[in-house]
Amino acid sequence: MRPCSFLPVLLVCGCLSSCQGELSQHQRRFGNDRPVIGILTQIVSDEVMKQYGSTYIPASYVKYIESAGSRVMPIRLTLTTTEYENIFSRINGLLLIGGASNLETSDFARVSNIFFQLALKANEAGDHFPVWGTCLGMQLLTVLVSGHNLLTGAEADNVALPLNLTAAAFSSHMFGGFPQELMRALQKEPLTGHFHHYGLAEKAFKQNVELQDFFSLISTNVGKNGVTFVSTIEGKRYPFYGVQWHPEVNRFQWDGTKSFPHSPRAVQLSSLLAQFFVNEGRRSLHIFDDPTKEVLTLIYKYTPVFAESFSGYEQIYFF
């Protein structure tokens, strides 16, 4: 894949400002019912797409997060470390999307590492902050944890597959609450869309101490070249999650030339995973101290571009 009158507004804003302390108390008791998930923008590499912007987020990821009851903040790759620290203190989770970027030298990798380190420190201090990586995002998580790019050729491009679940899957946070029928289907039916040429071999995962200590191996798959690769991982101590496949496409991408799973169970899988991650974000008590600034940072101020004619996406947000 390529990839209201003036006075009422014042009254409303004044009320919101005066209720910030009360809202924080509500959060501590019941969890955050106004989560904001940050989505890190991806670097534009396609020449046609460069006319629209230098970074982008496919709209399918935005819809995926919004469908589970969260708002989205796009995070650009050109800010300072201090600005990223300020963003981190306000958002309730981070999504690292798929795409095509160097996992060690790109701005996508550099900014991801800033948030990764902030998330580690926060979780260690009891400040719950989830991170999710999809496809390239999952691959990047393995680089950040291990300190090395351990990827190898593991082609599973434009194919839908069942998952080879490990024993850890059935007690995992990601899948532990799934209906038994869906768990059976996940192992037999092609519910997960794969669009990658590289992956982390299961053998490399098991031979790396840092990855073994940090992640539980939840599922594997076999590439066209016969390599068994890691397809789902979950942090053992931290709420960090990774999938080599794309759960967002099951509901929000429709290119007929792509192997996007659209069966009822595929839709259920996508819906449950989006709810799971957003619910993880609800456990984060980060909050904007200024509701006006909050509104201005969200995805709503941007308009997606119709992109079906030059990409595998229907809509893309460019920045």
Per-residue pLDDT reduced to its tens digit, 195-247: 999 999 999 999 999 999 999 999 999 999 999 999 999 999 999 999 999 99
Separation CA 53–CA 193 (nearest Å): 27
Percent of the chain at pLDDT > 70 equals 91
Mean pLDDT of 246-255: 98
Whether 135 is catalytic: yes
Higher pLDDT, residue 5 or 90: 90
Give me the residue spans of the domains in the chain. 6-318
The answer to whether residue 88 scores a pLDDT higher than 50 is yes
- DSSP notation for 43-96: E--STTGGGT-SEEEEHHHHHHHHTTT-EEEEE-SS--HHHHHHHHTT-S-EEE
Residue 31's pLDDT band (cuts 50, 70, 90): confident
The band of 22, judged by pLDDT with boundaries at 50, 70 and 90, is: very low
In the three-class reduction of DSSP (H, G, I as helix; E, B as strand; rest coil), residue 233 is classed as: strand
Read off the pLDDT of residues 55-68 as tens digits, 9 standing for 90 and up.
999 999 999 999 99
Q: Is the pLDDT of residue 36 over 90?
A: yes
Q: Are 113 and 131 in contact (CB under 8 A)?
A: no
Query: Residue 41: what pLDDT?
Result: 98
Q: pLDDT by residue (tens digit) across 128-152?
A: 999 999 999 999 999 999 999 999 9
User: What pLDDT digit, counting tens, does each position of 285-319 carry?
Assistant: 999 999 999 999 999 999 999 999 999 999 999 99
Q: Which of 128, 194, 246, 286 is catalytic?
A: 246
Q: Quick check: is 148 catalytic?
A: no
Pick the CATH number of 6-318 from 3.30.1330.40, 3.20.20.60, 3.40.50.880, 3.40.50.720: 3.40.50.880
Average pLDDT, the chain: 92
Q: What is the pLDDT of residues 156-203, one digit of tens each?
A: 999 999 999 999 999 999 999 999 999 999 999 999 999 999 999 999
Question: Among 135, 194, 196, 286, which one carries the catalytic annotation?
Answer: 135
Angle (CA) 37-91-35 rounded to 5° is: 60
Other beta carbons within 10 angstroms of residue 250's beta carbon come to 27
- DSSP class of 193: E
